[in-house]
């Protein structure tokens, strides 16, 4: 049971700004919302007087649907906006776009943007609460929180537990948010991938680095596998996808060689046959779809707690 009953921050810009106590409060609140979304009537009236705008300047399936469901299940009014079908194409600036939407009386903003720091830029300039739903290669805090929640469901308290993150660490906002979140909760974290996709100085965040997939699988309790983000790779970081799959892909034979059960996670979307084979993604080791379910509960908790701070 967390000590605090309110978050220490007015926005959720990144895990970096949260205290360990904030994270515990969110996870505790999420557990009660998980019970709500498993009822026959999945809706509660907490946010019935708030309007939330979902601003997606970058493509998304899970995060967008998940936020939308979370808002609807809290009875908020919502407006959706995607950059591809808006005046952004005509050259409107981010601040102008947001000011125009806010003048229609919007209380909270959920934003995904390709530029790192975009929500931080807005936070000082507008009165609404902002939730970062992914900013470029920087942070994706709600994903890290739902990952931590899913891990807790599997392992209980994460203090001292071993979590390995595999894949494209360099371009992944999920990796950075996960590392920050897990370290604050006291877990041991290791990153594993090809040397070209591991940022320099990442060990300064308190994580171990390994280039050996099989050895890292043997070390960890949970393997969080990340997608190769081809759309962000402006130069070649490895010779071919086939070669990546061969040396860094995770397959069933590897898991069978390990004498303990490890849990497989993936934030989606999966490149099947690249970072992980279908056999593993669909196996009993995988909790990928539970992660998606937990995503709604965690986002409800974040919206609820931030609304309470207003």
Partner 1 sequence: MDQERVILSQERFALTIERLCHQLIEQFDRFENACVVGIQPRGTLLSDRMCERLKALLNIPNILYGQLDITFYRDDFRMHDKPLVPSATCMDFLVEGKDVVLIDDVLYTGRTVQAALAALNDYGRPRSVELAVLIDRRFNRHLPIQADFIGIVVDALDKAYVKVEWAQRDGEDRVLIFADKKDHQP
**Considering the rule CB under 8 A, would residue 127 count as an interface residue with partner 1?**
no
Q: How far is the CB of 174 from partner 1 (least distance, A)?
A: 27
> Residue 208: beta bridge partners?
190
The continuous run of DSSP H or E covering 113 comes out as: strand 108-113
Q: Return the number of the residue (31 or 241) whose C-beta is nearest partner 1.
A: 31
Q: How far apart are CA 163 and CA 181, in angstroms?
A: 12
Q: 182 CB contacts (<8 Å, ≥6 apart)?
A: 144, 148, 151, 158, 163, 189
Structure tokens at 308: 């309470």
Which residues in the 27-66 window bind partner 1 by CB under 8 A?
28-29, 31-32, 35-36, 39-41, 43-46
Burial of 100 (0-12, 13-18, 19+ CB in 10 A): exposed
With CB under 8 A as the rule, give the number of residues binding partner 1: 24
Q: 261 CB contacts (<8 Å, ≥6 apart)?
A: 285
62 is catalytic: yes
Structure tokens at 218: 């043997």
Q: How far is the CB of 78 from partner 1 (least distance, A)?
A: 18
Segment lying near partner 1 (by CB under 8 A), choices 25-33, 54-62, 146-154, 243-251? 25-33
The catalytic position among 11, 24, 140, 171 is 140
Q: Return the number of the residue (26 or 144) whose C-beta is nearest partner 1.
A: 26
The catalytic position among 28, 51, 62, 64 is 62
Q: How many CB atoms lie within 10 A of CB 80?
A: 13
112 is catalytic: yes
99 is catalytic: no
What positions carry a catalytic annotation?
62-63, 90, 112, 140
Query: For binding to partner 1 (CB under 8 A), which residues are involved?
Result: 2, 5-6, 25, 28-29, 31-32, 35-36, 39-41, 43-46, 74, 304-305, 307-310
């Amino acid at each position: 049971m967390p000590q605090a009953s309110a978050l220490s921050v007015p926005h959720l810009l990144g895990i970096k700004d949260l205290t360990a106590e904030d994270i515990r409060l969110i996870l505790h609140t999420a557990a009660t919302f998980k019970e709500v979304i498993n009822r026959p009537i999945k809706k509660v009236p907490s946010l019935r007087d708030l309007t939330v705008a979902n601003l997606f300047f970058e493509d998304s399936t899970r995060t967008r649907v998940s936020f939308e469901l979370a808002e609807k299940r809290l009875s908020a009014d919502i407006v959706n906006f995607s950059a591809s079908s808006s005046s952004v194409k005509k050259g409107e600036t981010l601040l102008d776009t947001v000011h125009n939407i806010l003048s229609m009386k919007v209380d909270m903003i959920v934003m995904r943007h390709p530029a790192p720091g975009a929500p931080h830029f807005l936070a000082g300039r507008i009165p609404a609460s902002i939730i970062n739903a992914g900013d470029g290669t920087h942070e994706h805090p709600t994903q890290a929180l739902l990952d931590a929640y899913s891990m807790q469901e599997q392992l209980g308290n994460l203090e001292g537990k071993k979590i390995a993150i595999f894949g494209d660490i360099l371009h992944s906002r999920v990796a950075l948010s996960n590392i920050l979140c897990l370290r604050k909760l006291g877990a041991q974290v290791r990153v594993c991938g090809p040397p070209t996709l591991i940022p320099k100085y990442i060990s300064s965040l308190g994580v171990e680095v390994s280039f050996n997939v099989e050895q890292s699988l043997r070390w960890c309790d949970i393997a969080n596998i990340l997608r190769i983000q081809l759309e962000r790779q402006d130069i070649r970081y490895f010779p071919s996808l086939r070669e990546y799959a061969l040396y860094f892909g995770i397959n069933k034979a590897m898991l069978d060689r390990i004498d303990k059960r490890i849990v497989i996670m993936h934030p989606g979307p999966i490149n099947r046959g690249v970072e992980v084979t279908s056999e593993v993604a669909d196996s009993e080791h995988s909790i990928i779809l539970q992660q998606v379910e937990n995503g709604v509960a965690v986002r409800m908790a974040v919206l609820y707690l931030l609304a309470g701070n207003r």
